[in-house]
């Protein structure tokens, strides 16, 4: 008996005509939506209009996106890079929780900004249309269980006391801070640069409370709070 290929091989790089058309259409819809919204504002642009402009029925639009806002943001449901996820769950790569969280977030941002132009356009629209910002948080919510699984995987290997919820929010904090900083820089360079800055700021906020007056490393307050 020859090894049968699993009935539904989920080949990610399926380059059948079907898949190609689907991707092209999706991209077209995102571009169309972004252009229209940039010109006329989020509320003035109806799904019907986007569809018409892209030569697609309204109903089909909703086969591609869960909502109008999703289309405008061009949400791609890319999970976390499996390699990075694996490393994190195994207690790596550095063994230091915050440091490894940073790596995780870097991987997230990597995928998030996969298509730089589209991402920048989406972020610009987010500045103008605060309602879209909220979708950004929803996006995090979708990955919540994925993140929780990672935290639960790592806990036995490299124990830590923080709740999943706190770590998830911390991830979100880093993502948003990095992105905001990137925005402010006029989208110069890479997002990652701003991520390090975000982590540094976080450390600084906490550290300045632990060791206040710049007293230095031997301040007892640190130990007190740390081991309290």
Categorise residue 78: left if φ over 0, alpha if ψ from -120 to 50, beta otherwise.
beta
Rounded to the nearest whole angstrom, what is the least distance from the CB of residue 56 to DNA in the complex? Answer: 4
Instruction: Residue 167: name its binding partner from a second copy, DNA, none (Cβ under 5 to 8 Å by kind).
Output: a second copy
Instruction: Specify the residue for token string 């008996």.
Output: 1
- Rounded to a whole number of angstroms, the minimum distance from the CB of residue 137 to a second copy is 4
x/- site string to DNA, residues 6 to 25, per CB under 7 A?
A: --x-------xxxx-xx--x
Question: Nearest 5 degrees, angle CA 169-CA 172-CA 175?
Answer: 155
Question: In the range 54-83, which residues lie near DNA by CB under 7 A?
Answer: 55-60, 62-64, 66-69
Q: Which of 178, 73, 65, 75 is nearest to 122 (CA)?
A: 73
DSSP string, 162-216: --HHHHHHHHHHHHHHHHHHHHHTTS-S-HHHHHHHHHHHHHHHHHHHHSTTS--
207 binds, among a second copy, DNA, none (CB under 5 to 8 A by kind): a second copy
Which one among 67, 99, 117, 128 touches a second copy, defined by CB under 8 A?
99
Match 């769950």 to its residue by tokens: 89
Residue 98 makes contact with a second copy by CB under 8 A: yes
User: Is 29 one of the binding residues for DNA (CB under 7 A)?
Assistant: no
Q: Which does residue 69 bind out of a second copy, DNA, none, counting CB within 5 to 8 angstroms by kind?
A: DNA
Regarding 162 and contact with a second copy (CB under 8 A), the answer is: yes
Between 68 and 121, name the residue whose CB sits nearer to DNA.
68
- Is the backbone peptide bond immediately before 4 cis, with ω within 30 degrees of 0? no
The full DSSP string for 27-38 is HHHHHHHHHHHH
The 10 Å CB-count burial string (b at 16+, else e) for 73-95 is bbbeeeebbeebbebbbebbeee
Using rule CB under 7 A, residue 134 touches DNA: no
Residue ranges in contact with DNA by CB under 7 A: 8, 16-19, 21-22, 25, 45-48, 55-60, 62-64, 66-69
Residue ranges in contact with a second copy by CB under 8 A: 95-99, 130, 133-134, 137-138, 141, 160-163, 165-167, 169-170, 172-173, 176-177, 180-181, 198, 200-212, 216-223, 225-226, 228
């Amino acid at each position: 008996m020859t090894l049968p290929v699993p009935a539904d091989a989920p080949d990610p790089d399926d380059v059948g005509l079907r898949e190609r058309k689907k991707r092209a259409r999706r991209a077209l819809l995102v571009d169309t939506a972004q252009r229209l919204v940039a010109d006329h504002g989020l509320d003035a642009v109806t799904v019907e209009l986007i569809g018409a402009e892209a030569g697609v029925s309204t109903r089909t639009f909703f086969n591609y996106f869960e909502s109008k806002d999703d289309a405008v943001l061009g949400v791609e449901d890319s999970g976390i890079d499996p390699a990075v996820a694996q490393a994190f769950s195994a207690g790596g790569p550095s063994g230091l929780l915050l440091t490894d969280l940073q790596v995780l977030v870097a991987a997230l941002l990597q995928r998030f900004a996969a298509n730089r132009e589209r991402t920048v356009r989406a972020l610009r629209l987010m500045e103008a249309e605060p309602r879209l910002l909220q979708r950004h948080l929803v996006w995090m919510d979708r990955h919540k269980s994925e993140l929780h699984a990672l935290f639960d995987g790592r806990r036995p290997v490299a124990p830590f006391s923080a709740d999943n919820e706190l770590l998830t929010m911390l991830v979100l904090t880093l993502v948003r801070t990095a992105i905001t900083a990137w925005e402010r820089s006029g989208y110069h360079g890479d997002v990652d640069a701003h991520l390090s800055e975000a982590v540094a700021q976080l450390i600084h906020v906490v550290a300045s409370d632990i060791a206040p007056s710049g007293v230095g490393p031997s301040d007892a307050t640190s130990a007190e709070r740390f081991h309290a």
